C-alpha cells in the first residue's frame, strides 16, 4: 500500500511586538478562511462606500438638473405670463377705444336721429327770402294761414318728407301735399308752378313754388293724425 497523503493545513502567523529593547514577541495564527473572509468583508465595505458616493453624486446631479429644468420652466412661464399681461393690457386698450368709438357712434346716431326727427316736424316757415304778411286762420272751415309774399320769395317745404299729392286747386291754382311720416302733413296752395312731383323725397327748405307778381298769395295748412290743426300752433316764426 502506498503512503497516505495528508492535506497540508496552511495558516498565517501575525507577529506583534513593540519598539522596547526587552519586548517579547507575540504570535497569532490566523486561519486562511478568516483572512479571506476579512478581505472579502473589506472589499465589500470599500465597494459599498464607492457605490454610495457614486449613487449620492448621481442623485445630487439629478436633483440639480431637475432644479435647473424647473427654474427654466418657471422662467418660461413667467415670461409667458408677462407677455400675456402685456397682450391683455393692449386688448383692454383696444376694447376701450372700440367702446369709446361705439359710444361716440351711438351718440352721433342718436343726435342725427333726433335731428332728423326735428327736421321732420314742420316748425319752419313755408317762405324763404323777401318779406311776407300773414293772415291768421279764422274759425270757419279747416284752419289755413294765408301768407302774402313779395316777388322773388320762395315757397319751401317746412320739414323733411315725401310729396304725396300734386294737384290742381280751384282757389289757388296748384296744391302740394307733403307727408312727413310722423303723423304730420302740410299743404301748400299757390298760383305758381309746382317745382316737385308726386313721390319725390324733399328735405326741409326744398323749393316748392317761386313767388312772382301774379302768385304772391300762399295758403298753408297743417294736418296732424288726419285732423287739420292751426299751423301757428307748430310754426316757429322769428321776428
Tens digit of pLDDT for each residue in 15-37?
A: 666 666 666 666 666 667 777 78
Q: What is the dihedral of CA 107, 109, 115, 118, to 10 degrees?
A: -100
Tell me the sheet residues that pair with 201.
162
Please give the grid coordinates belonging to residue 70. Answer: 424647473
Among candidate residues 189, 188, 182, the one with its CA nearest the CA of residue 224: 182
Label residue 9 by pLDDT band (50, 70, 90): low
How far is the C-alpha of 71 from the C-alpha of 136, rounded, in Å?
Answer: 93
Tens digit of pLDDT for each residue in 94-142?
A: 999 999 999 988 888 888 777 777 788 999 999 998 777 888 887 678 9
pTM (2 d.p.): 0.57
**Residue in this structure with the C-alpha cell 316777388, named with its chain if needed:** 151
Amino acid at each position: 500500500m502506498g503512503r497516505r497523503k495528508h492535506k497540508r493545513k496552511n495558516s498565517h502567523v501575525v507577529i506583534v511586538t513593540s519598539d522596547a529593547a526587552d519586548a517579547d514577541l507575540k504570535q497569532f495564527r490566523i486561519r486562511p478562511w478568516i483572512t479571506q473572509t476579512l478581505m472579502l468583508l473589506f472589499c465589500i465595505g470599500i465597494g459599498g462606500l464607492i457605490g454610495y458616493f457614486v449613487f449620492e453624486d448621481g442623485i445630487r446631479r439629478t436633483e440639480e438638473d431637475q432644479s435647473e429644468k424647473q427654474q427654466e420652466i418657471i422662467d418660461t412661464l413667467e415670461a409667458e405670463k408677462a407677455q400675456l399681461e402685456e397682450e391683455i393690457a393692449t386688448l383692454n386698450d383696444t376694447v376701450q377705444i372700440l367702446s369709446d368709438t361705439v359710444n361716440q357712434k351711438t351718440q352721433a346716431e342718436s343726435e342725427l336721429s333726433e335731428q332728423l326727427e326735428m327736421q321732420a316736424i314742420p316748425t319752419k316757415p313755408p317762405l324763404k327770402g323777401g318779406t311776407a304778411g300773414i293772415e291768421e286762420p279764422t274759425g270757419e272751415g279747416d284752419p289755413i294761414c294765408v301768407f302774402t309774399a313779395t316777388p322773388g320769395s320762395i315757397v319751401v317745404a317746412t320739414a323733411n318728407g315725401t310729396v304725396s299729392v300734386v294737384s290742381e286747386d280751384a282757389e289757388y291754382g296748384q296744391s302740394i301735399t307733403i307727408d312727413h311720416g310722423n303723423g304730420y302733413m302740410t299743404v301748400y296752395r299757390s298760383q305758381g308752378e309746382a317745382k316737385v312731383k308726386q313721390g319725390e323725397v324733399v328735405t326741409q327748405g326744398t323749393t316748392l313754388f317761386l313767388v312772382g307778381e301774379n302768385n304772391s298769395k300762399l295758403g298753408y295748412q297743417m294736418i296732424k293724425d288726419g285732423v287739420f290743426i292751426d299751423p301757428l300752433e307748430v310754426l316757429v316764426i322769428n321776428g
